[in-house]
Structure 1
Amino acid sequence: MVQRHRRTVRDLRRGNRAAVLQRLYFDGPMSRQALLPATGLSSGSISNVVTELTADGLLEEAGVVESDGGRPRTLLRVAPGAGYLVGVDIGETKVRTELFDLAMSELSRTETSLTGVGYDVDLIVRAVAEGITAVLAEAGVPAGRLLGVGVGVPGIVERPDGEGALVYGQTIGWDAVPLETLLRTATGLPAEVGLFVNNGAKALGQAELWFGGGRGSEDVVIVLFGSGVGACIVTRGAIQGGMHGSPSEWGHLTVNVRGRRCRCGARGCLEAYAGAEALLERWREVGGRLPEGAGEEEGVTALLAAADPAGGGGADPVAVAVLEETAEYLGAGLSDLINLFSPEQVLIGGWAGLQLGPHILQSVRRHADSFALRRPAGKVSIGLGLLGADAVTVGAATLVLADFFANGGRREAPLREEDVVEAGTERRAAHVLGGN
């Protein structure tokens, strides 16, 4: 028996609201008239949706523009103060928490160092909970005004049916950690405040795709180069596997059979050569000297200073050789992605990638060209991400923003039977929440 697709008036209204919100958010301010061709909605639907969104406090006027011989047209935009988002980056050197308004303007931030602490789950959960409390207090924003909290993590994130997100972070010793449940308990956030956990490389990728160097690109690879390395792969404008699918564990691609031992336990992974942790370990092995008590970020700074002294002194050939080897392995790893996905561009982000990029990017490009097939290599540009070291927190906050758009800017109320509309019929509910 063929099942008839059932949709609801709520689905229709939510889709219309989402279309208007997204168009105004990414391409606004715009007038009602400009929204017609931009969304494909009728003038009646635009009028109803704009009235509704304005009544909800989600839209506001943003000036006027002259029309051709007619009355000036009022411009509309998404109201920045209509809601707030928290982005959390659980990195491998620190936990960074930032509060944003709807325009993604940073309102407050806090950081907790993980140097010497390790990846104890309870400590990290407490750091996240305290960070959320701190940024809300600093900005004077009540928890009930939050649209949600997004969290970027190292590792694979899975969501078994009926359960919250589980994190499998093999390199940090996490195995099926019920992070979403732990955070929900520790933060004490209102039930209606969404909590979204995802892989940090995917969060970075979505941030660069929406707001950074990947905006407007159909096929792009965004690399997270920090303590380890990961990648977000975008094809035809969409993140592979979706934001809730498995991440691309590119850092654990084998680049040297029987090579160096990786943090994951295998041998020869790209991350054993290209991550900041491995980079500093290789430098120490050949005589490099790190400052006393230096963490990874200070260590990378010291390595770069040795390879390219500020005063124009002689470069340390050992440091130069370590950087060149890193560029070669990174280029080889990128060549695999270039051959597999033929992207139009590759963006390198993450704190280590942005710090090392100006020194090794040319060499990375040269090695990627030498390993990749000529045709896809000739079509790709390789550059640095545009959002800086905070890109993962921005990306984590976009997890909330994506949910906000998907729900048409509303926290969903329970579905009523009279809202149901069967596809292929003209029957509609007579009383829906004042909708279109």
Structure 2
Amino acid sequence: MERPRHKTTRDLKQGNRMRLLRTLYFDGPLTRRDLGPATGLSTASVSNVTAELLAQGVLREGGKVESDGGRPHILLDVDPGHARAVGVDVGETHVRVELVDLKLGELASAEYPLAPGVHDPSTVVEHIVAGVRSVLAASDGPQVLGVGVGMPGIVEYGPDGVIHAKAFGWDAVPLGRILMERLAPLPVHVDNGAMTMGQAELWSGAGRGADNAVIALIGTGVGSCIVTDGRLYRGSASSAGEWGHTTVEVRGRRCRCGAPGCLEAYVGAEGVLARFRAVGGTVAEDDEEAAFARLLDDPSEAARTVVDETVEYLGAGVADLLNLFNPELIVIGGWAGLMLAERRMDDIAAAARSYALDQPFETARIVPGRLGPDAVAKGAATLVIERFLGGGPE
């Protein structure tokens, strides 16, 4: 058995640096005086680490706080412009690539539409590579730390970033390895898109400060990110959060995954539009997002019936999350989820109330996401920034 390795002075210094940097990133700006209690570090350690990070340009001074009789205390914060990261959202309708600063501020972007049913690995990879090169051409400033990718489906974590995405027809595609070879020397990190969106909302959106939450992604398909004790829950094989493939109707509509009665077949945009066609509605064969928006605003009886049913199914699905996980917060995100929330948030909450147990419903908030439809891309960038902060997986 391998003997435990003793921590060296270098390990301790790295640990102190990580603790202080993460505290300033998530809770800053703070003064040196505040950093001691916030990190548990000694005054000397705070002084040494902050001096080093200021010299490297990782931190910046950002104003002053008056003291009791002495000199004002200087506020310190992470400098967003110190470095950059690339986030990629691979969805059913598009590939979006964003270059962001350390605080997820967008600096450049590129977007490529995906035709229905055209999701083969070579097409997706070419769009990602073209998008990364495009946004990097707009970056003549600080270093780019790496590329994060949010994908539908189940992700096997490791250097190969293997993807199992039934909706795309992907079975064990080593996307991470392929992109590492094409984008070298930039490191590439791959995760499920609902997970990346969830992390973005936790860091700087509607989920900020929540310890127990579920962030729901509703687009063409449906997924979720489950947060317990402030950490993303992945399950034993990294497939936790497949909320869209929970059963809402036994022997119901066939889902894209092949199973009958999945929630996704009733609230995912593709399923909703298919239900509208099934009752005689007309859906133009164009952009799915535009078609979904038109349906939500269609005053016809057929459209209103389908949308009302969608709202009720979504409320029932939210109630399942409340009853199963007892979160303090549920965030409705994804481009289709945001459209529904903008128009029918009160109705979604009312439907959830009717299906949920009283206690979990009364102790939770149900809110729309704050980061908009590009939250998956911003969240993908957090995969890179997380490692810069010293907290990501090896």
Q: Normalised by the size of structure 1, how large is the TM-score?
A: 0.86
- Where 2:241 maps in the other structure, the secondary structure is coil
Partner of 1:175: 171
- Matching residue's letter, 1:20: L
CA contact (8 A) 1:324 1:360 kept: no
CA contact (8 A) 1:198 1:243 kept: no
Deviation (angstroms), 1:243: 12
Distance 1:377 1:327 in 2: 17
Aligned residues: 393
Partner of 2:75: 75
CA contact (8 A) 1:223 1:346 kept: yes
Deviation (angstroms), 1:41: 0.3
Please state if 1:321 is matched with 2:321.
no
Partner of 1:288: 281
Partner of 1:157: 155
Distance 2:235 2:206 in 1: 19
Q: In the alignment, which of 294, 297, 302 is matched to residue 305 of structure 1?
A: 297
Deviation (angstroms), 1:51: 1.6
Distance 1:318 1:70 in 2: 71
- Alpha-carbon deviations, 1:202-241, whole Å to 9, x = none? 1111111111111111211110000011011111211113
- Where 1:41 maps in the other structure, the secondary structure is coil
- Alpha-carbon deviations, 1:322-351, whole Å to 9, x = none? 011111211121111111110112110000
Please state if 1:357 is matched with 2:341.
yes
Identity within the alignment, %: 51
CA contact (8 A) 1:23 1:39 kept: yes
Distance 2:43 2:19 in 1: 14
Q: Which runs of 5+ in 2 are unaligned?
A: none
CA contact (8 A) 1:202 1:243 kept: no
Deviation (angstroms), 1:9: 2.7
CA contact (8 A) 2:83 2:101 kept: yes
Partner of 1:234: 227
- Where 1:201 maps in the other structure, the secondary structure is helix
Partner of 1:147: 145
Structure 2 matches for 1:14-413, cutoff 5 A?
14-116=14-116, 118-141=118-141, 145-159=143-157, 163-187=159-183, 189-190=184-185, 193-241=186-234, 245-291=238-284, 293-306=285-298, 315-406=299-390
Could you list the structure 1 runs, at least 4 aligned residues long, displaced by more than 6 angstroms after superposition. none
Q: Which runs of 5+ in 1 are unaligned?
A: 307-314, 413-436
CA contact (8 A) 1:150 1:195 kept: yes
- Alpha-carbon deviations, 1:102-151, whole Å to 9, x = none? 12211100100002461010011010011011011123347xx1111110
Distance 2:61 2:320 in 1: 48
Change (3 A) 1:262 1:2: closer
CA contact (8 A) 1:83 1:101 kept: yes
| Range 112-121 or range 193-202, more displaced | 112-121
Distance 1:366 1:376 in 2: 14
Change (3 A) 1:350 1:2: closer
Greater relative contact order, per chain length (Cα 8 Å cut-off, separation 6+): 1
Aligned-residue RMSD, C-alpha: 2.0
Partner of 2:6: 6
Deviation (angstroms), 1:156: 0.4
Deviation (angstroms), 1:244: 9.5
Distance 1:67 1:331 in 2: 51
Distance 1:346 1:407 in 2: 25
Change (3 A) 1:65 1:115: same
Change (3 A) 1:345 1:234: same
Distance 1:377 1:129 in 2: 44
Distance 2:273 2:137 in 1: 38
Deviation (angstroms), 1:271: 0.7
- Matching residue's letter, 2:191: N
- Where 1:234 maps in the other structure, the secondary structure is strand
- Where 2:207 maps in the other structure, the secondary structure is coil
CA contact (8 A) 2:93 2:116 kept: no
CA contact (8 A) 1:223 1:347 kept: yes
